[in-house]
Amino acid sequence: IALPSVQINAQIFFRTGIDGSEARLDYAFADWQLDPALNVRFGKAKHPFGIYSEVAGLGTVRPFLNLPQAIYGPVALASRSYNGVGIQGDVAVGGGWSLVYDFYGGGIEFAQEESALILFARPLVEENLPVNPFKSENVVGGRLQVGPPFDGVRVGASFYSGRPDLPDGADINRYWTWGIQGEYVVDETWIRVEFVKQRDRLPALEDRETAYYVEVARYLS
C-alpha cells in the first residue's frame, strides 16, 4: 500500500522441512514521510544496526551465503526488528557529503531458540526460563551513517540499550551494545568491516561480548 506520504510495509517468513513448518511475521510497520529528511516509523520495524540487520533476509546484497556469524549468527548481537516508534532521515550536508540517521525506542525480540545467555543464567535463575531470553524491554537506540563524496564508501556507528526480560531473581540492569562499521562497494569489489561490543546483559557474571569481521569479495566477470 503506498500513498504520497505513507507506506505500509510487511514481510512474512515461511519455512517447511522434515522437522515441520514455521511461519512468522518479520516486519509490519507504517512509514510516514513528513519531509525528505524526516520519516516516522511505528510498528514492528526493521532494526537499524550495523550493515546487515535491515537486509538480513536478502541474499542479493551480500557476497557470501551466510551473514558474518559473529554479529548476525545464532547468538546474535543485532536483532532484525524492534517493536516501537522511530525516526529516520537522509540529509545532504553539502560538498557531496550525506548523513543518514535513525533513532528509535520500544522493545526488541532476538531470533535465537537457544543462546549463551540461557546457559550462563541457569545457575542464577529458576530452571523454567522463558523460551526467548533475549527479549528486551525499554530499548533505546540509533545509528548514524556518513557518506563522503566518494562512490561506494559509507561509515557509521550504531548503539542500543535495553533491559532483558528475564525471570524474577535475575539481574536485569540495563545493558549496552555499540558498534562501528564501514564499507566500500564499487562494481565488482565489496569490502565491509564491523566491530561490535556488548556489556552487562548479566552484570553478576561480568558479561562482555566483542565481535568483529572483515569481509572482502571480488566478483569475477
- Between 120 and 195, whose confidence is greater? 195
Measured distance between the N- and C-terminal CA atoms of the chain, rounded to whole angstroms: 38
- Buried/exposed code over 35-62 (b: 16+ C-beta within 10 A; e: otherwise): eeeebebebbbbbbbbbbbbebeeeeeb
pLDDT per residue as tens digits for the range 159-181: 999 887 765 555 567 888 999 99
Q: In angstroms, rounded to a whole number, what is the distance separating the alpha carbons of residues 107 and 91?
A: 27
Q: 120-124 — which CB contacts under 8 Å span 24+ positions?
A: 120/202, 120/205, 120/207, 121/166, 121/170, 121/202, 124/169, 124/170, 124/171, 124/202, 124/204, 124/205
Cβ–Cβ under 8 Å, residues 99 and 91: yes
pLDDT band (50, 70, 90) for residue 147: very high
Residue 109 in this model has a pLDDT that exceeds 90:
no
Per cent of the chain over pLDDT 90 is: 36
